[in-house]
């Protein structure tokens, strides 16, 4: 299949990642189907998209007609079988746990046309763990977007052990078609490129916190002012969602069995009490205050 043959993209998962991936694709002219468990979830995802695009229109960065046209290209469909029937390319963007992803890929394999490419947006789980649930492992790959997809330009394209070169190149070409920049990993490993680098920084940041060397707010300040990062590691964790980082660490530990990959206490404590970062209004920082204030452990 050539990239020109991709007419309809299916995105499964209408959370912040999936909804924005769908919108980015629609903004670049693709017909998109967005699938999740209910119309309520789908409409919530699209509401978030509208808020983002309305800001662009208000700033003169986008015409109202362009926004309306993109929204009109997205079909909401809670029935996976119906959503998959005419899909040429599928992006999975559901919870970061292996078994739900394997189950979904198995169903997609049954419902999608034989030519369809299946990719996972997973940030930690390798496609070689997921693709065996299908009869088309050569047509499966990782296509890891960064949050928020409507802003972040990078996409990691990762070949699994059975991913064909044709599939990897097709995913990279589609990435360019929808206005993003691909990097291709010829060898898969947990965390891929960017998250492995971030994890090294985060691991040291949590170590310094747990050893009582400095507060997390001062560690953030040091990274922002000393390394010129836009956000320190704890602010970034809040921005991405503490539950995302927590689950990613658990999945990584299942692969490596390295105790250093387990979620740090400061992260686990907040996740267990439901403080998941910006999306819940509270994580390492309290976002009801202006500016946000550090929260106690």
pLDDT, averaged per 10 consecutive residues of the chain (297 residues), comes to 98 97 99 98 97 97 98 99 99 95 99 99 94 98 96 97 98 99 94 90 96 98 97 95 91 86 95 96 97 92
Q: Is 28 helix (H, G, I), strand (E, B) or coil?
A: coil
Verify that 51 and 143 share a domain, yes or no: yes
Verify that 176 and 242 share a domain, yes or no: no
* Contact (Cβ atoms closer than 8 angstroms) between residue 50 and residue 35: no
Query: Quick check: is 144 catalytic?
Result: yes
What is the distance between the alpha carbons of residues 108 and 83, in angstroms, rounded to a whole number?
A: 10
Residue 292 in any domain: the answer is no
Please state, in angstroms and as integers, the Cα–Cα distance from residue 32 to each residue in 18, 49, 50, 82, 113, following that order: 11, 14, 16, 13, 16
Residue 289 in any domain: the answer is no
In the chain, the number of structural domains is 2
Domain boundary among 164, 185, 206: 185
**Domain span including residue 254:** 195-284
Verify that 28 and 135 share a domain, yes or no: yes
Residue 294 in any domain: the answer is no
Verify that 201 and 237 share a domain, yes or no: yes
Residue 256 in any domain: the answer is yes
Verify that 86 and 212 share a domain, yes or no: no
pLDDT of residue 162: 98
Query: Quick check: is 228 catalytic?
Result: no
What is the distance between the alpha carbons of residues 271 and 245, in angstroms, rounded to a whole number?
A: 10
Q: Tokens standing for 253? A: 């530990």
Q: Which of 92, 122, 144, 251 is catalytic?
A: 144
Q: Residue 155's domain is classified under what CATH number?
A: 3.40.50.720
Residue 297 in any domain: the answer is no
pLDDT of residue 190: 83
pLDDT of residue 29: 98
Query: Quick check: is 28 catalytic?
Result: no
Q: Which of 35, 122, 142, 156 is catalytic?
A: 156
* Contact (Cβ atoms closer than 8 angstroms) between residue 240 and residue 147: yes
* Contact (Cβ atoms closer than 8 angstroms) between residue 131 and residue 105: yes
Verify that 168 and 215 share a domain, yes or no: no
Verify that 8 and 87 share a domain, yes or no: yes
Q: Which of 122, 123, 240, 247 is catalytic?
A: 123
Q: Which of 195, 240, 247, 251 is catalytic?
A: 195
Domain boundary among 140, 164, 185: 185
Verify that 166 and 45 share a domain, yes or no: yes
Verify that 224 and 273 share a domain, yes or no: yes
Q: Residue 249's domain is classified under what CATH number?
A: 1.10.1040.10
Verify that 67 and 169 share a domain, yes or no: yes
Residue 190 in any domain: the answer is no
Give the helix ranges, DSSP H, for the chain.
Answer: 16-27, 39-58, 64-72, 80-84, 98-111, 127-130, 165-177, 194-210, 216-226, 233-240, 242-256, 265-272
Verify that 23 and 115 share a domain, yes or no: yes
Neighbours of 269 (CB within 10 A): 13
Verify that 18 and 165 share a domain, yes or no: yes
Domain boundary among 134, 158, 185: 185
């Amino acid at each position: 299949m050539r990239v020109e043959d991709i007419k309809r993209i299916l995105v499964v998962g209408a959370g912040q990642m999936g909804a924005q991936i769908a919108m980015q694709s629609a903004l670049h002219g693709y017909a998109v189907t967005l699938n999740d468990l209910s119309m309520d979830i789908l409409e919530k995802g699209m509401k978030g998209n509208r808020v983002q695009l309305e800001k662009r229109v208000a700033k003169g960065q986008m015409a109202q007609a362009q926004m309306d046209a993109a929204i009109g290209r997205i079909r909401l469909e809670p029935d996976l079988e119906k959503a998959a029937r005419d899909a040429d390319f599928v992006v999975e963007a559901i919870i970061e746990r292996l078994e739900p992803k394997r189950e979904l890929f198995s169903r997609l394999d049954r419902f999608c046309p034989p030519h369809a490419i299946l990719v996972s947006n997973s940030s930690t789980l390798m496609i070689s763990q997921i693709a065996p649930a299908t009869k088309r492992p050569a047509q499966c790959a990782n296509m890891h977007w960064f949050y928020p997809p409507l802003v972040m330009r990078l996409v990691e394209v990762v070949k699994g052990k059975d991913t064909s070169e044709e599939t990897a190149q097709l995913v990279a070409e589609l990435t360019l078609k929808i206005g993003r920049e691909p990097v291709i990993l010829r060898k898969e490993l947990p965390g891929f490129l960017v998250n492995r680098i971030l994890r090294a920084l985060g691991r040291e940041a949590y170590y310094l916190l747990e050893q009582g060397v400095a507060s997390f707010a001062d560690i953030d300040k040091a990274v922002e002012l000393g390394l010129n990062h836009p956000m320190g590691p704890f602010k970034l964790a809040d921005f991405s969602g503490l539950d995302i980082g927590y689950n990613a660490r658990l999945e990584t530990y299942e692969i490596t069995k390295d105790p250093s990959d387990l979620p740090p206490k400061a992260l686990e404590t907040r996740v267990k009490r439901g403080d998941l970062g910006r999306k819940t209004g509270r994580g390492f920082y309290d976002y009801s205050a202006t500016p946000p204030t550090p929260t106690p452990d």
